[in-house]
A = this chain, B = another copy of it.
Amino acid sequence: MAITAASAHVRAVRRAPRRGRPRDDRLDAVIVEATIAEVGAKGWAGATVEGIAARAGVGRGSIYRRWASKQELFQHAAAAVTRPSEDVDTGSFADDLLTAALRMADTLTQPEIAALLPPLLAEAANDGAIRETLKSFVAQSRRQAIGAVERARQRGEILRSTDAEMLVDMLAGALVYRRLLLGATTDAADIRALVRQVVRSCSARTSTEEDA
């Protein structure tokens, strides 16, 4: 498993710290990386701040100065591995949604997510704190698609009655279901077809012809 390797995102964060707090950002990334490794080895419930500190080569104090609890650290780590997105506004609903869907699919195939999401789901069933981590992960992963739907509604490109949350449940749901329940890969052509279908379900301009 590639869990112990840093994700491209985590590496990028480490290489290009934000202005002002370069040292802290680097250490944050090292701790997030250690968190992923610890959870990969022991599960969400089994991971300890002590184990994370040892992997990161820091004291527990360095962790608790940043995050008040293991739970807060988990939520930060879950948000970090979903690669916070720049909200792309192409002016077209189909293109915005495709961009969001490609990013979602990419997130789902990241080795860290592929390894950490199934046990996250399993442990969330019995642990309220882990459920909160799952919620952070999911909220982060759907934000870009929700934004795309809201903009399209404001432009009048889709029906006013469109329920953005439900639309994103369909899109993200299909991707997660294919990946986790069917064990199927989803290539760019599949994702394009899926987005076309989702767009058609709410498009203000519909046609009785077969779509091209």
Contacts and interface: CB of A to CB of B under 8 A. Distances in A.
A28 B166 CA distance: 40
Please state the number of chain copies in the assembly: 2
A193 B166 contact: yes
Helix, strand, loop or mixed for chain A's interface? helix
A89 interface: no
Contacts of A169: 173-174, 177-178, 182, 194
Contacts of A175: 173
- Chain A interface bracket (under 10, 10 to 19, 20 to 34, 35 or more): 35 or more
Contacts of A118: 121-122, 124-125
Contacts of A170: 170-171, 173-174, 194, 197-198
Given A200-B200, A200-B202, A211-B161, A177 B183 contact: no
7 contacts: A114-B125, A118-B121, A134-B181, A135-B182, A170-B173, A204-B208, A206-B206
